Each structure stands twice: as structure tokens, then as C-alpha cells.
Amino acid sequence: ELKVEQNPLFLSMQEGKNYTIYCNYSTTSDRLYWYRQDPGKSLESLFVLLSNGAVKQEGRLMASLDTKARLSTLHITAAVHDLSATYFCAVDNSNSGYALNFGKGTSLLVTP
């Protein structure tokens, strides 16, 4: 069974600070995904990471993938209140029928 672990599960940070969310997964995976979810809303795709060493950036968020360590990170730079949301990482592979296996999510609160 493909397991995905995120940490931390809860994160309160001040505006302007930097922080990293970690995502570990248990077996070989084809692809890694990061999603954002606002309260009561759907999941918004942030990044799709397809290969070892992949790094993608969008605004204050940067995601990276190390397939050898089975680790992805989501780095937040100079956080702003608008980044407050729940962030999920997920992986898929052929053994899972290419369905997403999600981590438990990281609830991020950015305070003034």
C-alpha cells in the first residue's frame, strides 16, 4: 500500500517568515502532486513533479522532489495571509491504478 506522510499537520506562521512542509512516501511513485484547499472549496492543483530533482516555483511557493529519498518539500517564502489554506501532497503509481494517495494535509495559518 502506498503511504504518504506529511508534516507538520498544523502550522502557524507569521507573515514574512519562511517555512517548509515535508512529504514522505513509502514506495516508488511515478508522480508527486501538491494541492491547495481553501475552507469549503475544492482542490486546486499547485504543482506536478514528474522526475527526480524536479523543482517548480509559483510565486512564494516552491516545490521539489527527491525520488531517491522519497521526499518532496513545499517551501514557503515570505508568507502572506493569502497563503492560509490546507496543503496536500499526493502520489500515484501504476500499482495504485494511478489514483491519488493523499497525505493528511497541512493546515497553514499565516498571521500578521
Residues near another protein (CB under 8 A): 30-31, 33, 37, 41-43, 45, 48, 50, 86, 88, 90, 96-102, 104-105, 107
Strands (DSSP E) found in 1-112: 4-7, 10-14, 19-25, 31-37, 43-49, 55-58, 61-66, 71-76, 85-92, 101-102, 106-111
CA separation for the pair 84, 74 (Å, rounded): 14
Q: What letter represents residue 66's amino acid? A: D
Q: Which is nearer to another protein, 72 or 101 (CB)?
A: 101
Q: Which is nearer to another protein, 25 or 88 (CB)?
A: 88
Provide, rounded to whole angstroms, the least separation between the CB of residue 8 and another protein: 14
Q: How far is the CB of 78 from another protein (least distance, A)?
A: 26
- Please, which residue, 55 or 78, has the CB nearer to another protein? 55
* Dist. CA 67–CA 73, nearest whole Å: 11
* Closest distance to another protein from the beta carbon of 77 (Å): 23
- Tell the smallest beta-carbon distance from residue 16 to another protein (Å): 27
